[in-house]
Every structure is written in C-alpha cells, then in structure tokens.
Chain A
C-alpha cells in the first residue's frame, strides 16, 4: 500500500501531522542542507537556521499595518499562521554584507628594499613574476582563487572569496516570496552581469514553499497576481498547505524530483519506503497509510495519503486568504501611469513624509542594490573588499563626479517607486513589486505604496505639472 497518493494533477503528495515537520527538517539536514525557516526572535517572526520543528512560531501570528507589527497568540498551534516578517530570503541569497576579496602585500624588492632588507630575496623574486599576474588569468573576477601582482612596492597577493559551499533549504516560502526570488534570479543569475555568489547560493537551494492561508494587514499579492496560492512549477521542491480545520495536518506536494525523494522519506523509513507514486492512479483514500507499522515508537505519527477532503481544505485556506488581503492596488498599466506623472504633486506630498532612511529598500525582497567598499589596515599591508546592501535613498547611491544626482528626497522617492512599478518592466520584463507589504509595515512613518499609487491614479495629470 502506498503512503502517498497522486494529487488531482498527478504530483506526488502526502499528508503529515505537525510532528512530520521534524522528519522533514531531519531529512533535509541529513542531505547536507542548512535548514532556514521562520522562528520567533525579539518579538517578531524572522528567518533563521532551524534544527527542529519546535523552533517554528507555534501558535503565533502577527498583526500588521503601516509602521506597526505586533506578535499575538493564536488560539491554535499553527506553525505558519503568520504573514511575512521583517526578513526576506534575500538575507540568505544576497547577504547584507559579503567579503569579495582579500589583498596582502609582502614588502620587499623595489622601493622598499632599504626599509626591509631582510626580505630582499623574496622581493627580488617577485620581479621575475612578469608583472601583474592578473594578465595570466589569475584574477579575472570570475575564476576565484588567488593571484599575485608585482613588482613595485613589494608583492601583492589577491585572494577572491570562494563561493559558499553550504547548501540552503528554505522552509515556509510563500508565493510572493517565490516570485521575489524569481525576480532576483532574472537579475542576478540570468541577467547581463550574473552574480557568482548569488548564483552559487541559488543553485544549491532547496525550497519548501507554503500555500499562504494567513495574509497580513499590508499584503496585496492578489493585486500583483503573485499569490496567495503557490503556482505549480514555480520553482519549489515541496509545497506545504497547513490545514487547521479538523485534525491539524499538512498537505505536502512535490514540485521536483528531489522534492519527491524527500517526500518519500516523510512517508516511510528511507530503506523500506515504496510509497511515492507520481502516476495518475485514482486516489481515494481515507484508508490509513501504510508505513506506520514499520516505524519505531519514538517516530512521529506517520504520513498518510491525501484525501479529497485534504485537497478541499487546502483550497479553502487559499480562497479565504484571497478575500482577506489587507491592501488592494489597481496595478493596471502602472508603467504608463507613472511615466506620465513624473511631475505629479503627490511626489512633493510623499517627500514631506519620507525619511529617506532606506528601510523600504532594505526589507524589499526584490531590491538588489549593493555598494562596494575597500578597507585597508594601518600598515598598508592588508586590504579587503566588501559589498553591502545599498539603498537608492542614500545620497551616495547617486553620487557622480562631485555630487548626488538625486539630491532631494522627492527625487529619491520617485526613483524608487517608478523603478519598482514602472521602469522595472522595461529593464527586467516584470513589475519589481510582489505585493508582500513589507515596505508598508516597516516604513517608520507608514508610507503606503498602495496609497501613493492610488493617489497618483486618482488625479492623473499626464503631461503638465500641476502647481
């Protein structure tokens, strides 16, 4: 007897009890993944490394509005009964700070000979290295490894930061977040300038998605057509639906072959498992699952095949989420609307409220701007190149030959909003917004993109500036 049945659409699936999440986390860790998922820290639900399902935000939800986020107790033990929090997965795929390069200088030879005679022999040696080794292919920005440069004031050794080797598994990725990851993929993997570090993190990624049943007060994914249901084939390995009506359970579906392999481990001991089917056998199935008898006593309750009631409950959860969006936005042709309203008086209005603090860009799951800085030690012997999240709200971001191009906060807010909702289409083929609502919740003064865009649309003044 099989422990998993075919979904209506033919993918491998099963139903697990909440304790089955521990099996999932263990299975992923056993495969060498560092598992990252939601947990409560400092009165918010953040994304951190998980080693056990007990770290999930059991029984917590969040109440969100502009500039306010509060955790509250639920009257059930939901594991994913919250909306998105202050973190996005870019925390892990595009880290806030990353060392790119290390440079070490070994004194000797040339100009420093008198100062450091003891190293003369080594310094002399670098003279024969034929100049900048970069020419020889050592440091070309993509190959990794080390290179040397000399002669001159000693010898310079360049060591590029190797790409990360730890593979990540993300648990609880909502549809809006899958769309955000896909947007960053288009820019950082498939774009004109692929990012080596991001690509390495992305390639090893295992995604456990989540059908969103619990939108927040600032969510508007329905308006942006990015959720709340996870779309089949949208890049996840597994997708969960948390069902709270009746018996507390999770409907698990596989989206990839490796997802199906992990799913098979949920349904029975790996050695004994024969459970997963990917065919289209008809599936009714209120019968108890197989595999249970083969489990030892300390194993969680076993998985069982999904029933039509499970599918219906999961579908109902998504439908209820659709009707509970905290925000709505008329997203129809925002590109042309904004292009035609670059002198709209609303820009002055929002500029009077905008703090130019950059919080919206930092919490946005698609914002990808980075700044690169070199730091050196006092002796001039070592230097490092670091990159960090940057914001288009900083003056440095548009600093060119002696001054910032976007000096006013009006121009900076307009740049952000028009890029996100309009010129992003021209540049990357989609909107830059997935409707997750983070920029609304985490703006310290509650500036709401849906309100700003609605105000511009309500009083669209194409062409002439309004005085």
Chain B
C-alpha cells in the first residue's frame, strides 16, 4: 500500500498522443486534418499532437498512441523508417490512396524506373529510389486504412473518434452508388451516358463527383467486391476508348490489385 499523496488523481488522465507521418505523397491528406476547422479545438483537447510537421516543427519523442501515415514507400530509407514508426505506434492508420494503394507514383510499377530517372535527372546517380511504390501494408501491419485522394474530412474525424472511444470506425466499403442514390442523385451513367466508376469504387466521398454531374474516377479505390470486367464492358458501350479505360483505372489507385488488373498493360 502506498503512502504517497495521490498527486495525480485530481489531474486529467494523460491524453492519447497523435503523430502524423509523411512518406511519398503530396501532403493533401495531412492537410485534411488542418481542414477540420470546426473540430480543431476539440481535436487538440482530445489528443496531444506529438508529431505533425504541417502544423508545428516541434517533435515529441514516441511512443505514440495513434499514428496517421500518409504516403507510399518509394525509397530504401522509407522502407526502414516505416518499421520504426510501426514499432513506436500503438495504432497505425494509413490515410489516403498513396499510403493505402501506392498512389499515382505507383505508375512506376508498370515501367522501368531507371528510364524515368534518366529522363528527369541530369545526374541520376544521386537518386536513391526503389523500383516500385508500395502501400504501407506491404511493409508493416496496418490497423485501419482510410481511402481517398484526398481522404474525406468526415471520415478522418470518424476514425479518430472511433479510436478515442475504442470502437470500430463506421466506414462503409460498399460502392459509391449507395451514397449517390441516398443523396437522390440522378445516375450520370444511365441518364447522361457519362462513364462513371462509381459501381466499382469504394464509398466515402459522399458521391462528390456525380453530385456535380461528373463521372466518378475512382479516387477512393476499389470497393469491397469490384466487378471491373463487367463495368468495362459497359464503359465500351458508352464509347469510352480502351486508352481512356486504362487511364481511368491507372491513376491514384493504379496499384490496388482490382484497378491494376483492370487497366491494360502500357
């Protein structure tokens, strides 16, 4: 039995620590955290932000309760660094298409990276890069993957709220069509003849593009059971060219297996 005074019992319990990490990416998903304007104060109340380069250069040493990881692994150094981050993190959540599927930079997977280096850099010898751009899950265990290019603000808050409440995030992996129909939208594919990847794409954006009469271009990656073969037949009926079909699948989620295989070989 201790006789020391209960010095800490009248203080708030320590808040969970949050770290935000960047790999090969554009920073857009991290910035979604700063876009949570109305919720920023609540976020800062609920979490100790230990690492977040987009907000502060101050860095608090780990371990961390929640790590949000943006970006893909594209260099030997990154392949090392993600191991350290995983070891220092209680929960690791990837945010966005790069971290979850390799990002647009995974187009290198379909070509020779040395050709790119020779074309872009005067002295390619200085560049140390991998031949592929791979998702975080190819390297370490990931507790949850949040889709999108960029991620959806509401979904990010849901994942953080779920983490704080120790429950599973409520994130549907069904098609964009379910969100589109719930919004009462008129289907752009059926009523306008506009090619749309909504039927094979993971929900989460709230059917943003179809709500503005644009076809979905798949930035949330494949839905839970994507039948790209069947949709591609219909895209051809709508006179989408094979080149355009390859391109629309080989963009932000080019290396997600269902979309990788849907696009043709370059």
- Bound together, the chains give a CA A445 to CA B227 distance in angstroms of 11
Out of A97, A374, A394, A444, which one reaches B187, CB within 8 Å? Answer: A444
Closest Cβ of chain A to B91, distance in Å, is: 16
Closest Cβ of chain B to A445, distance in Å, is: 5
- Bound together, the chains give a CA A335 to CA B223 distance in angstroms of 32
B11 close to A (CB within 8 Å): yes
Closest Cβ of chain B to A71, distance in Å, is: 8
Q: Mark B181-201, 1 if CB is under 8 A from A, else 0.
A: 111111101111100101110
- Bound together, the chains give a CA A87 to CA B170 distance in angstroms of 27
Closest Cβ of chain A to B229, distance in Å, is: 8
A355–B178 touching, CB < 8 Å: no
A204 close to B (CB within 8 Å): no
Given A68-B193, A374-B170, A378-B164, is A43 in contact with B186 using a C-beta cutoff of 8 Å? yes
A355–B161 touching, CB < 8 Å: no
**Interface residues of B, count at CB 8 A:** 50
Given A355-B200, A395-B225, is A42 in contact with B45 using a C-beta cutoff of 8 Å? no
- Bound together, the chains give a CA A91 to CA B182 distance in angstroms of 9
Out of A67, A353, A395, A409, which one reaches B190, CB within 8 Å? Answer: A67
A contact residues around B83 at 8 Å (CB):
none
A359–B199 touching, CB < 8 Å: yes
B contact residues around A379 at 8 Å (CB):
42, 45-46
Stretch from B68-76, B123-131, B140-148, B230-238 forming part of the interface with A: B230-238
B contact residues around A359 at 8 Å (CB):
177, 181, 187, 199
A114 close to B (CB within 8 Å): yes
- Residue of B10, B158, B170 with most partner-chain A CB within 10 A: B170
Out of B172, B184, B213, which one reaches A87, CB within 8 Å? Answer: B184
B contact residues around A378 at 8 Å (CB):
39, 42-43, 45-46, 157, 160-161, 164
- Bound together, the chains give a CA A394 to CA B179 distance in angstroms of 12
Closest Cβ of chain B to A452, distance in Å, is: 14
A contact residues around B223 at 8 Å (CB):
357
A433 close to B (CB within 8 Å): no
B224 close to A (CB within 8 Å): yes
- Bound together, the chains give a CA A393 to CA B203 distance in angstroms of 14
A444–B231 touching, CB < 8 Å: yes
B173 close to A (CB within 8 Å): yes
A377 close to B (CB within 8 Å): yes
Q: Mark A1-14, 1 if CB is under 8 A from B, else 0.
A: 00000000000000
A444–B191 touching, CB < 8 Å: no
Out of A44, A96, A358, which one reaches B186, CB within 8 Å? Answer: A44
B182–A97 touching, CB < 8 Å: yes
Given A68-B193, A357-B175, A444-B187, is A409 in contact with B161 using a C-beta cutoff of 8 Å? no
Q: Closest residue to B154 on the A side, CB-wise?
A: A375
A162 close to B (CB within 8 Å): no
Q: Mark A33-69, 1 if CB is under 8 A from B, else 0.
A: 0000000011110100000000000000000000111
A125 close to B (CB within 8 Å): no
- Residue of A355, A359, A441 with most partner-chain B CB within 10 A: A355
Closest Cβ of chain B to A236, distance in Å, is: 24
Out of A44, A114, A380, A409, which one reaches B191, CB within 8 Å? Answer: A44
B contact residues around A445 at 8 Å (CB):
199, 230-231, 233-234
A contact residues around B173 at 8 Å (CB):
394-396
A358–B175 touching, CB < 8 Å: yes
B190–A441 touching, CB < 8 Å: yes
B9 close to A (CB within 8 Å): yes
Q: Closest residue to B193 on the A side, CB-wise?
A: A68
Q: Mark A401-421, 1 if CB is under 8 A from B, else 0.
A: 000000001000000000000
A395–B224 touching, CB < 8 Å: yes
A86–B187 touching, CB < 8 Å: yes
A389 close to B (CB within 8 Å): yes
Out of A68, A353, A388, which one reaches B230, CB within 8 Å? Answer: A353
A42–B230 touching, CB < 8 Å: no
B contact residues around A68 at 8 Å (CB):
190, 193
A126 close to B (CB within 8 Å): no
Out of A97, A357, A375, which one reaches B199, CB within 8 Å? Answer: A357
**Which residues A448-467 have CB closer than 8 A to chain B?**
none
Given A70-B191, A378-B39, A379-B42, is A46 in contact with B178 using a C-beta cutoff of 8 Å? no
B42–A355 touching, CB < 8 Å: no
Q: Closest residue to A409 on the B side, CB-wise?
A: B225
Closest Cβ of chain A to B201, distance in Å, is: 9
Q: Closest residue to B227 on the A side, CB-wise?
A: A355
- Bound together, the chains give a CA A446 to CA B161 distance in angstroms of 40
B175–A362 touching, CB < 8 Å: no
Q: Closest residue to B178 on the A side, CB-wise?
A: A358
A115–B12 touching, CB < 8 Å: yes
B186–A357 touching, CB < 8 Å: no
B231–A355 touching, CB < 8 Å: yes
B contact residues around A352 at 8 Å (CB):
227, 229-230
A contact residues around B229 at 8 Å (CB):
352
Residues of B with Cβ closer than 8 Å to A? Answer: 9-12, 39, 42-43, 45-46, 157-158, 160-161, 164-165, 170, 172-175, 177-178, 181-187, 189-193, 196, 198-200, 213, 223-227, 229-231, 233-234, 237
A-B contact pairs, 19 of them (CB 8 A): A42-B191, A44-B186, A46-B184, A68-B193, A86-B191, A114-B11, A355-B227, A356-B227, A357-B198, A358-B174, A362-B181, A378-B42, A378-B160, A379-B46, A391-B178, A395-B173, A395-B174, A409-B225, A445-B234
Q: Apart from A46-B186, A68-B193, A393-B174, what are 8 other A-B pairs with CB-CB below 8 Å?
A: A353-B230, A355-B200, A358-B174, A379-B45, A380-B164, A395-B224, A396-B173, A409-B227
The 7 tightest CB contacts between A and B, nearest first, are A362-B181, A357-B199, A96-B182, A394-B174, A357-B175, A355-B199, A44-B186
